[in-house]
Chains A and B, each alone.
Chain A
């Protein structure tokens, strides 16, 4: 025997008490659509909420507080609690020079050591769900920077070790002469990061949504790699073999140095940021030599190169597992979070559009990041697997 609308108060009691069954829920759904019933329910609910819920005594509050205090004090000591404030103490430069210097660059004359620009051949992401290494014969191997294993690159006759904390490490190849370079590819999807030590000792860090193609063993004349996305290099010095990074719209040539490149194309710009050493950057028919703490940007729309001074060490903290956002508009932050955590964010809210946002996000989990953002902007989020929806 099922309730009719005459016993609605008892039904509402069950709804609020969470002891309603499926039939109750269905009837409730029908009833509340009728005129005036929503208000009736709201009133009922108010009394319910005012008169119920756990009461808690002062001892429990004090115990909770002691727990909380311990948590706060111990987190201060942990290095991983790396807040934006704290960074000021560690960075050499105290002030960011965000001065953009625009100039038009004249095409460089050909000089000795001019290297013909290698053609960019795209590296397909191949719908990889985890970090994947593609060997010369096309075989795909799932890799990571936790756990150890050994991979044999048969064609290139080289051993690749996967080491915890280091990523992929290629054995160095001073002895044999390399006749023909054998190419490997590593693809890093959204939400992941990876590091590689190439056969010459060059260290590479790849951010989310990035990929690299490189020889398992470098040849004798020059070292050429192709990348896309956001990649940071610490290049082993080798005056006899210039190191060349080929991107879709830009080529960076180095002798021995640390720098990062970014080809995400956000706001139609790709750029290279130099930490140390010296590099030559070619793009759009122009070329420029960059200095440390300089960022060279190539605008894909206007095809112009610009240079600005930055604090390069702050730009590359992603390689240590931190995503830093500095006075950026909401949509930019969302895009960065999507990439960093490998999720897709649908924004159905009306808030936060004209605010600038700053924060530091760790590698950890996306829930924490969404919490920060939503609590600060008075928004709600719903998460289901890799889909996130933001609402008011």
Chain B
């Protein structure tokens, strides 16, 4: 079965074909989990947001249509699940207190549309190469943050340095990557 054809895939999903669901699960799970974790920060909550999206897709399989690809459906579903989680997080209070809740949801949180345009697998190699080119301490801190998913405070504790230092190094890292990977950004601006 050629599930890369959306029409065939959606029909199979409508019928509850387990192989189609396996395809959809294994193809998108990692990226969806990665996406959810960037919105929520919490690994458990992220996994939950993704798993719930898949459960709902199964439960509503009869109503899936070709107008919305299964991939888009899942990203949208994960996004909505994350939003519902967020309303309980402390983060949102800060924005609410400053009357900036709209800004948070429209600009800070990664929307599913923006996320789907990021062609991760192709860019990841380019990024990792650029990261390897970072100076020692800077790279170490960056990897702890991005690869191990530690919060700045946790990195500071682990390395025995100040939070300010961590933040400064992270900023340097991002700035350098921006410079190195500027060509990547040009592509995005064109499509985005």
- Taking beta carbons and an 8 Å cutoff, which residues of A are in contact with B? 9-10, 13-22, 25-26, 28-29, 32, 38, 41-56, 61, 64-65, 67-69, 71-72, 75-76, 81, 83-85, 358-360, 367-368, 370-372, 374-378, 380-384
Contact = CB atoms under 8 A, between A and B. Distances in A.
B77 A53 contact: no
Contact of B177 (A17, A47, A67): A47
Contacts of A83: 61-62
A230 B184 CA distance: 59
19 contacts: A9-B171, A10-B167, A14-B152, A17-B170, A21-B94, A44-B174, A44-B178, A50-B184, A51-B127, A51-B146, A53-B33, A56-B30, A67-B51, A71-B55, A85-B62, A359-B63, A370-B80, A375-B68, A376-B63
B58 A375 contact: no
Contacts of B84: 367, 383
Contacts of B120: 50
A371 B80 CA distance: 8
Nearest to A72: B58
Contacts of B37: 53-54
A32 B104 CA distance: 11
A31 to B, nearest CB: 11
Interface of B: 16, 18, 21-22, 25-26, 29-30, 33-35, 37-38, 41, 43, 46-47, 51, 54-65, 67-68, 72-73, 76-77, 79-81, 83-84, 87, 91, 94-95, 97-98, 100, 103, 107-108, 110, 114-115, 118, 120, 123-124, 127, 131, 142, 145-147, 149, 151-153, 167-168, 170-171, 174-175, 177-178, 181, 184-185, 188-189, 192
Given A29-B98, A56-B29, A376-B73, A64 B185 contact: no
Given A20-B94, A68-B25, A84 B62 contact: yes
A17 B177 CA distance: 17
What is the predominant secondary structure among interface residues of chain B facing chain A? helix
B94 A374 contact: no
A68 B50 CA distance: 11
B43 A54 contact: yes
B34 A19 contact: no
Given A17-B151, A18-B91, A375-B73, A46 B185 contact: yes
Given A19-B152, A75-B58, A47 B174 contact: yes
A83 B118 CA distance: 36
Contacts of A64: 25, 29, 47, 51
B58 A371 contact: no
Nearest to A44: B174
Contact of B38 (A20, A53, A69): A53
A98 B79 CA distance: 39
B43 A377 contact: no
Contacts of A65: 22, 25-26, 29
Contacts of A48: 174
Contacts of A371: 56, 60, 77, 80-81
